């Protein structure tokens, strides 16, 4: 094939000069514009033709072949023309797809160029051109498309290859922009992450019959921008004016898919009632929570705080409300010990408590605010005070201590053949102990003068029964614990040894609940369940139902003084976990009832234990009433209270004192 011809100019006449065998023309003869797979040898050799000025082939001329572009090799690199003026070489393509060229040169004559097109080989792999970012918002597309390239073994892009995307569970959707790779072997895709914050992955693979090695893309879905803010806890609290609320206000910030949004600003602000929040602005934690402490303002009634979270074009908020109450009218005086049991000595106007670690009996004067401790040799389990208020009896495990409250000494310690439970000092020369261990037991009657212990004739009480002395001093009433149905029983003390007379006429008709209190005039029995029964020397009338305390399902303590104008009750309007549990629900208010018809008069809250907070204010922990007494003059009501469990207060027992004139 003759593509170019070089003519030498004539010198005189019309006969060329310098013709002979001098090469004047180099031209392609065959092998140009072939196509083959990269790295392979072209099927047709590259052949050049060398001619003299007359257009005749010139043999014996050296032709140099060289790869100009695209890599590859030629063999041989030089060749001598034959008698036809032709020289040839073979061209093995380089590994890079696209146009490749070879030059052929004879001396100083202009070189000629052979071109070939190298096509990609068999697809063997996938290259990620544009990687996914390390993380992205859950449930939405990644901000930039993912670009993939299918390549052969030499890394050349392979066109026309379809790819398949297989996301793992909860890794969203992966959609290609085209069905196959383009001329460069590339295709782009959009990845919409799954809706849950978690590691996400998708595997990209070629056709099932291809040699393409799959590749896996990974990223992590994180919560998106905030869509909503919700109250987690701290709403609808009640506190005293000026106190920091016990629970912090806590919100949770969520994205459009309900995921928790971390590291986002939340602003808390007081809307009404005064007061303050600290901090006013904070950042959500890893679970999307943010919280603040709310100190109520000086206004009684409903107070409000709002919590807001903002992002461009959107603000979301929630409200917290709290009820600010006037403080309780009671005064609170902290005790230096933790109370196991307590009784009242009306004649001396003192409260007698027992405590463990160390084991002591303490005479508490709630008016003078004095405490006189008497050491005990054993751990106390219960205490009883005699009607005269001069002595106390303390039950222990296998022992009974007899304490003189006037001299503040232990007069005598008596051995006892049981684990001591509730104890009554009757004023008749006997102490009565109902054991707390085992099941059906004998009541212990201990004669104080001799120390003789006698057991109650069969049948005896069930272990753990609570007992109270009737004002006559002649009878005990007991309330069973650990039995269903619960019951009341009556014991005769007139012979010294406690002897069971009979139980109530009810066996499941009315709930008793595991404790009993007796009115000052001896005519009423108050049950822990809130039911009220008669006390009568006539057996057919004794322990019969006589009404109930309205609004109370669990009673912690009752006092109905002789000739009193009110009945005082520590109780709550909710049943305890079970009616024989020794630890009922916390009573946080003192309720009053008129005595004739048990009419509810009203209630006042028990005071709060107040401890300093970090901002110079106080946090109030609502006192829980455990024991209740009224002084002989009926001018003061004393509640022995404790701070709620978990408050962290070291001295968590106190006496709350109310003036009866301030009670409803």
The string of pLDDT tens digits covering residues 410-462 is 999 999 999 999 999 999 999 999 999 899 999 999 999 999 999 999 999 99
pLDDT at 484: 86
Question: Could you give the CA distance from residue 97 to residue 120 in angstroms, rounded to a whole number?
Answer: 5
Residue 578: predicted pLDDT:
62
Neighbours of 52 (CB within 10 A): 20
Lowest mean pLDDT among 58-67, 74-83, 308-317, 548-557: 308-317
Cα separations in angstroms, 547 against 380, 531, 596: 36, 6, 11
pLDDT digits (tens, 9 = 90+) for 163-201: 999 999 999 999 999 999 999 999 999 999 999 999 999
Q: Which helix (H) or strand (E) holds 268?
A: strand 265-272
Predicted confidence at residue 584, as pLDDT, reads: 66
Average pLDDT over residues 306-329: 93
Mean pLDDT of 463-476: 96
- The model's confidence at residue 581, banded by pLDDT at 50, 70 and 90, is low
What does the angle CA 196 – CA 198 – CA 199 come to, to the nearest 5 degrees?
140
> Does the bond joining 326 to the residue before it have cis omega, within 30 degrees of 0?
no
In this model, does residue 580 exceed pLDDT 70?
no
**Residue at token pair 């009338």:** 541
For residue 8, name the pLDDT band (cuts at 50, 70, 90): very low
Q: Which residues contact 646 (CB under 8 A, 6 or more apart)?
A: none
Question: What is the pLDDT confidence band of residue 583, given thresholds at 50, 70 and 90?
Answer: low
- Judged by DSSP in three states, 94 sits in coil
How far is Cα 457 from Cα 380, in angstroms, rounded to an integer?
27
Mean pLDDT of the region 286-315: 94
DSSP 495: T
548 has which bridge partners? 531
Res 15 pLDDT > 80:
no
Helix/strand/coil for 649: coil
pLDDT of residue 7: 35
- Match 């269903």 to its residue by tokens: 484
Across 286-301, average pLDDT: 95
Give the model's confidence band at 482: pLDDT under 50 very low, under 70 low, under 90 confident, else very high: confident
Average pLDDT over residues 578-588: 69
Question: With helix as H, strand as E and coil as C, how does 355-416 read?
Answer: ECCCCEEEEEECCCCEEEEEECCCCCCEEEECCCCCEEEEECEEEEEEEECCCCEEEEEEEE
User: What are 213's two structure tokens?
Assistant: 């090695």
Residue 331 and residue 657 in contact, taking contact as beta carbons nearer than 8 Å: yes
- pLDDT for res 11: 35
* CA dist 446 → 197, 385, 428 (Å): 72, 15, 11
How does pLDDT run across 584-631, given as a tens digit for each residue?
Answer: 678 999 999 999 999 999 999 999 999 888 888 888 999 999 999 999
Question: What does the pLDDT read at residue 52?
Answer: 94
pTM of the model: 0.69
In the prediction, which pLDDT does 600 show?
97
Amino acid 281: pLDDT = 96
Is there a contact between 534 and 541 (Cβ–Cβ < 8 Å)?
A: yes
Q: Which band of pLDDT confidence, cut at 50, 70 and 90, is reported for residue 644? A: very high
Instruction: Report d(CA 449, CA 446) in Å as an integer.
Output: 9
Q: Which residues pair with 612 in a beta bridge?
A: 618
- The answer to whether residues 145 and 129 touch, using CB atoms and an 8 Å cutoff, is no
Reply yes or no on whether the pLDDT at 17 is more than 50. Answer: no
Instruction: Say if residues 222 and 137 touch (Cβ distance below 8 Å).
Output: yes
pLDDT higher than 80, residue 555: yes
* pLDDT the model gives residue 590: 97
Q: How much is the pLDDT for 313? A: 84
CA distances from 31 to 43, 100, 111, 221, 318 (A): 9, 13, 16, 57, 81
Euclidean distance between CA atoms 186 and 196, whole angstroms: 30
Q: Quick check: 533 pLDDT over 70?
A: yes
Per-chain mean pLDDT for the chain = 93
- Residue 48 above 80 pLDDT? yes
Q: Which range has the worst mean pLDDT, 17-21, 25-29, 205-209? A: 17-21
Q: With pLDDT > 70 as the criterion, what percentage of the chain qualifies?
A: 96
* Percent of the chain scoring above 90 in pLDDT: 89
The end-to-end CA distance of the chain, in Å, is: 125
pLDDT band of residue 20 (cuts 50, 70, 90) is low
Cis-peptide, bond into residue 499, ω within 30° of zero = no
Q: Confidence band (pLDDT; 50, 70, 90) for 575?
A: confident
| CA-based radius of gyration for the chain | 51
**Contact of 611 with 619, CB cutoff 8 Å:** yes
Longest dimension (CA), the chain: 172
Instruction: Say yes or no to pLDDT of 554 above 50.
Output: yes
Q: Give me the pLDDT at residue 14, please.
A: 35
DSSP codes joined into one string, 316-358: EEEEEEEEEEPPPSSEEEE-SS--SEEEEETTTTEEEEEETTT
565: exposed, middle or buried (Cβ count in 10 Å: 0-12, 13-18, 19+): exposed
Using CA atoms, how far apart are residues 552 and 549, in angstroms rounded to an integer? 6
Of 14-28, 352-366, 369-383, 605-619, the poorest mean pLDDT is in: 14-28
Quickly state the pLDDT bin for 1 (edges 50, 70, 90).
very low
């Amino acid at each position: 094939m003759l593509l170019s011809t070089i003519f030498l100019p004539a010198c005189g006449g019309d006969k060329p000069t310098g013709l002979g065998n001098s090469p004047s023309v180099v031209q392609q003869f065959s092998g140009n514009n072939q196509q083959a797979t990269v790295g392979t040898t072209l099927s047709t050799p590259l052949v050049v033709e060398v001619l003299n000025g007359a257009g005749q082939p010139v043999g014996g001329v050296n032709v140099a072949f060289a790869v100009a572009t695209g890599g590859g090799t030629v063999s041989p690199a030089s060749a001598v023309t034959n008698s036809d003026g032709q020289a040839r070489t073979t061209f093995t393509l380089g590994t890079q797809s696209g146009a490749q060229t070879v030059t052929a040169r004879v001396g100083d004559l202009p070189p000629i160029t052979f071109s070939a097109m190298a096509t990609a080989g068999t697809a063997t792999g996938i290259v990620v051109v544009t990687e996914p970012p390390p993380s992205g918002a859950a449930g939405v597309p990644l901000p930039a498309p993912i670009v993939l390239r299918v390549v052969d073994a030499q890394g050349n892009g392979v066109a026309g290859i379809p790819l398949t995307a297989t996301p793992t569970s909860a890794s969203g959707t992966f959609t290609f922009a085209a069905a196959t790779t383009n001329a460069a072997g590339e295709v782009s895709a959009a990845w919409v992450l799954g809706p849950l914050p978690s590691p996400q992955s998708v595997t990209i693979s070629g056709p099932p019959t291809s040699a393409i090695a799959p590749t896996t893309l990974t990223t992590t879905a994180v919560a998106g921008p905030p869509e909503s803010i919700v109250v987690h806890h701290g709403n609808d609290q009640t506190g005293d004016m000026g106190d920091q609320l016990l629970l912090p206000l806590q919100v949770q910030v969520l994205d459009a898919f309900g995921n928790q949004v971390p590291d986002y600003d939340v602003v808390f602000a007081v809307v009404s009632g005064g007061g303050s929040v600290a901090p006013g602005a904070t950042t959500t934690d890893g679970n999307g929570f943010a919280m603040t402490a709310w100190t109520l303002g000086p206004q009684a009634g409903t107070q409000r705080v709002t919590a807001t979270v903002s992002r461009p074009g959107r603000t979301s908020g929630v409200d917290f409300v709290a009820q600010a109450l006037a403080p309780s009218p009671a005064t609170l005086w902290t005790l230096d010990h933790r109370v196991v049991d307590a009784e009242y000595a009306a004649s001396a106007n003192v409260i007698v408590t027992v405590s463990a670690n160390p084991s002591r009996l303490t005479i508490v004067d709630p008016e003078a605010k004095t405490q006189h401790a008497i050491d005990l040799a054993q751990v106390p389990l219960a205490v009883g005070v005699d009607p005269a208020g001069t002595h106390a009896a303390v039950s222990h495990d296998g022992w009974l201590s007899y304490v003189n409250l006037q001299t503040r000494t232990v007069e005598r310690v008596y051995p006892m053949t049981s684990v001591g439970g509730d104890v009554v000092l009757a004023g008749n020369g006997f102490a009565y102990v109902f054991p707390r261990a085992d099941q059906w037991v004998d009541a212990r009657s201990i004669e104080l003068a001799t120390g003789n212990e006698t057991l109650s004739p069969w049948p005896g009480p069930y272990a753990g029964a609570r007992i109270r002395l009737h004002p006559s001093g002649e009878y005990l009433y007991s309330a069973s614990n650990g039995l269903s149905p619960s019951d009341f029983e009556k014991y005769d003390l007139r012979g010294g040894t406690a002897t069971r007379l009979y139980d109530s006429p009810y066996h499941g008709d009315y709930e008793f609940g595991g404790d009993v209190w007796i009115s000052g005039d001896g005519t009423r029995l108050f049950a822990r369940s809130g039911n009220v029964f008669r006390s009568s020397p006539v057996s057919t009338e004794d322990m019969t139902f006589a009404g109930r305390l309205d609004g109370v399902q669990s009673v912690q303590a009752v006092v109905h003084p002789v000739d009193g104008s009110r009945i005082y009750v520590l109780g709550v309007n909710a049943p305890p976990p079970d009616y024989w549990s020794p630890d009922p629900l916390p009573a946080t208010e003192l309720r009053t009832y008129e005595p004739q018809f048990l009419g509810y008069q009203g209630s006042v809250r028990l005071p709060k234990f107040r401890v300093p907070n970090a901002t110079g204010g106080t946090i109030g922990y609502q006192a829980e009433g455990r024991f209740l007494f009224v002084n002989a003059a009926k001018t003061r009501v004393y509640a022995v209270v404790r701070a709620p469990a978990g408050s962290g207060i070291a001295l968590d027992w106190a006496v709350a004192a109310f003036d009866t004139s301030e009670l409803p």
